Chains A and B, each alone.
Chain A
Amino acid sequence: MQDQIVPVFEAEALSQRFGKTQALDGLTFAIAPGQIVGLLGRNGAGKSTLLRIVSGQLKHKEGNAWLFGQRIYNNTPALASLCVIGDTPDFGKLKNIKQLFFVCAGLFPGWKKQRAMELLEQFELPYTKPLKGFSRGMKTAALLAVGLSSGALFTVFDEPSLGLDAVMRERFYDLLLEEKQQDPNRTFLLSTHLIDEVARVLDSAVMIDKGHLLCQAQMEDINRIYLSVSGAPDAVREETKGMTILREETVAGSLVRHLRLNSVTEGQRLKEEGKVQIAPISLQRLFVFLAQTHNGVEPDIEEADE
């Protein structure tokens, strides 16, 4: 029993309603430890509501949610291992980063002071300059430094790249990978609607839309199961018979089918036969296809497969 892996976070039929709005609708998924997980969804998909439940800011009404196998709301041991960095920079009435780090050292049991100072340099942030004079990007960077230095077993970043320029965004993702390498026990959840941007750092993805779970899988599996198959129309139709087609389009005389394989071996066969070209679907396009399928938009297929 000691070897049994307890998920960092687990939701079971989790639902949350605000008045007439169903923010979460029977969400069931689990986050395995030691991964960088993307929580992907459009604006209003329910990501923030889910994060507020994860961070103990909101008590869920229906279903179950566990952090490290324990209830979340006001549960001191579970919350001690959590760090949540919200999408709106809120420093309370703190004056500068020196004060912020002073408070964080008391808030997070695993606070890494040395690492925090290193990250300040990486993000080019002043230690004692008033936070009032910070740009949005600098404020975001200051909180990202807090999240990375918190040492929390489970660290959640809500829209981590908001306000950051391209250089800083890439630097953050590099630092995230570095942190993960240094401390493999840590789990990171990145909630974002900028899907392709985070794809390179993710180990797995959880996609939600309108409070429903669209897909949860390891990136490795996503790249093997969801493929774009292109080539001569007849060959493509022949080779993809019986597969779940998410979208079909014609590009310069070639037929392109974005689809879900029934098994990994099908992909292997397509590759070996070489009649068609295959490529993984980008995470962002896959999200769009899954969201449309879930919302009842039928894929526009020119000719039905026999």
Chain B
Amino acid sequence: MENRLASVVENKGWFRLSRFGGALRYQWLRRRRLAVFLLAVMAAVQIVDLGLAFLGVLETTVTPVQSDFSVALLLIFCCSFPVAKSETTFLLRFGTPRTSVWLSNLLSLFLTGAVYLVLSALLNAVFAVPGVLLAQAGKNVTMAVPAPLGEYLLGGLLSTLKELPMQLLWILEYAAIFYFVACCLRRWKIPTILVLVGVPALLFTLLLLPAINEASAMLESGGQNELVALMLKFISWLQKAAKFVGENWQTIQGVAGGVTLVLGYLVMRGTRQPE
């Protein structure tokens, strides 16, 4: 029997044995439709916008060519919940190792965001052509940064390309964070919601409410100088906090991404499958 198992295992790399390929195939089938749908919506919006401008119904502005980073984040946020729940369940039912499921889940979220980033930039570039031409023809279209078409497109694409590596890292970081949250929601629904709502509420209560109460007390006692001093102290504290976060932002992002990457796996690994 060992020999027979060996015949299955040998000459087949981890990719085949781990069912990672199958997991990716499933993710591809799930994601591609959504990406195409979103791009179609984006294209439709651009066409309507330029069409109405051409007909003289409204005025519009051609923005520089860039990728839609915020929409990409929204996309992976929305995708992370079905990925962590129903899609994970489906793959595990067939006996797929959890490592493969976790890896394919994260890769799928990352690629969804990354592909959307690139395609949205290309789509913007495509629609910038009629936009710039309409602007040059004076058809109710203005350019945010006036420039000749070639320069406009090339400049925009180069700038997008320059920003892309950093944006991809952010996409990876947010994919890990959203996936971790989605895994927690699947495993501990109520506690996770309580933490997500409760921690900000607790911070607000502990930090802001005492300051507001103290300020109200001072106003009542007429100590305006003390109030000003207190406000300055508070603003100074906020500045320090903002400065610390600003200076260490990349480190904070890296740590958050790394920690949630590992925690996401651990939470998913220990989650019981529904019967």
Chain A interface residues (CB < 8 Å from chain B): 2, 4-8, 33, 48, 52, 55-58, 68-69, 74-84, 86, 90-95, 99, 102-110, 153, 185
- Given contacts A57-B92, A79-B95, 7 further A-B pairs with CB under 8 A are A6-B1, A69-B1, A74-B269, A76-B100, A81-B8, A84-B94, A92-B89
Output the nearest chain A residue to B11 by Cβ-Cβ distance.
Answer: A109
With A74-B98, A76-B99 known as contacts, the answer to whether A103 contacts B4 (CB < 8 A) is no
Shortest CB-to-CB span from A230 to chain B, Å, is 42
Question: Which chain B positions have C-beta within 8 A of A4?
Answer: 2
Output the nearest chain B residue to A84 by Cβ-Cβ distance.
Answer: B95
Question: Which chain A positions have C-beta within 8 A of B162?
Answer: none
Question: Which chain A positions have C-beta within 8 A of B137?
Answer: none
Bound Cα distance from A6 to B3, whole angstroms: 10
Question: Which chain B positions have C-beta within 8 A of A95?
Answer: 29
A/B interface sample: 12 pairs, CB < 8 A: A57-B92, A74-B98, A76-B14, A81-B8, A81-B9, A84-B93, A105-B22, A106-B21, A106-B22, A106-B23, A109-B16, A109-B17
Asked if B24 is an interface residue, CB under 8 A from chain A, the answer is yes
Q: Which of B2, B23, B95 is A69 in contact with, Cβ under 8 Å?
A: B2
With A7-B1, A109-B16, A110-B8 known as contacts, the answer to whether A103 contacts B22 (CB < 8 A) is yes
Shortest CB-to-CB span from A50 to chain B, Å, is 12
Shortest CB-to-CB span from B112 to chain A, Å, is 15
Question: Which chain B positions have C-beta within 8 A of A185?
Answer: 4
Interface contact B1-A106, CB-CB below 8 Å: no
Question: Which chain B positions have C-beta within 8 A of A76?
Answer: 14, 17-18, 97, 99-100
Bound Cα distance from A58 to B25, whole angstroms: 25
8 tightest A-B CB contacts, nearest first: A107-B22, A106-B22, A92-B90, A106-B21, A80-B17, A6-B1, A57-B273, A106-B25
Within 8 A of A (CB), among B11-37: 12, 14, 16-19, 21-26, 29-30
What bracket does the count of chain B residues touching chain A fall in? 35 or more
Q: Is the interface of B mostly helix, strand, loop or mixed?
A: helix
Asked if B5 is an interface residue, CB under 8 A from chain A, the answer is yes
Question: Which chain B positions have C-beta within 8 A of A75?
Answer: 97
Bound Cα distance from A74 to B19, whole angstroms: 12
Interface string of B92-134 (1 = CB under 8 A from A): 1111111110000000000000000000000000000000000
Question: Which chain A positions have C-beta within 8 A of B9?
Answer: 77, 80-81
Output the nearest chain A residue to B8 by Cβ-Cβ distance.
Answer: A81
Most A C-beta atoms less than 10 A away, residue of B14, B95, B99, B272: B95
Q: Which of B8, B26, B29 is A109 in contact with, Cβ under 8 Å?
A: B8
Most A C-beta atoms less than 10 A away, residue of B1, B23, B82: B1
Asked if B205 is an interface residue, CB under 8 A from chain A, the answer is no
Interface contact B24-A92, CB-CB below 8 Å: no
With A86-B93, A102-B29 known as contacts, the answer to whether A107 contacts B19 (CB < 8 A) is yes
Output the nearest chain B residue to A91 by Cβ-Cβ distance.
Answer: B90
Q: Which of B5, B92, B272 is A81 in contact with, Cβ under 8 Å?
A: B5
Bound Cα distance from A153 to B9, whole angstroms: 11
With A83-B94, A102-B29, A107-B19 known as contacts, the answer to whether A153 contacts B273 (CB < 8 A) is no
Bound Cα distance from A107 to B90, whole angstroms: 12
Shortest CB-to-CB span from A175 to chain B, Å, is 20
Question: Which chain B positions have C-beta within 8 A of A77?
Answer: 5, 8-9, 17
With A80-B17, A92-B86 known as contacts, the answer to whether A52 contacts B1 (CB < 8 A) is no
Question: Which chain A positions have C-beta within 8 A of B247?
Answer: none
Interface string of B21-58 (1 = CB under 8 A from A): 11111100110000000000000000000000000000
Most B C-beta atoms less than 10 A away, residue of A79, A94, A103, A105: A103
Shortest CB-to-CB span from A4 to chain B, Å, is 8
Interface contact A99-B98, CB-CB below 8 Å: no
Q: Which of A48, A93, A105, A109 is B30 in contact with, Cβ under 8 Å?
A: A93
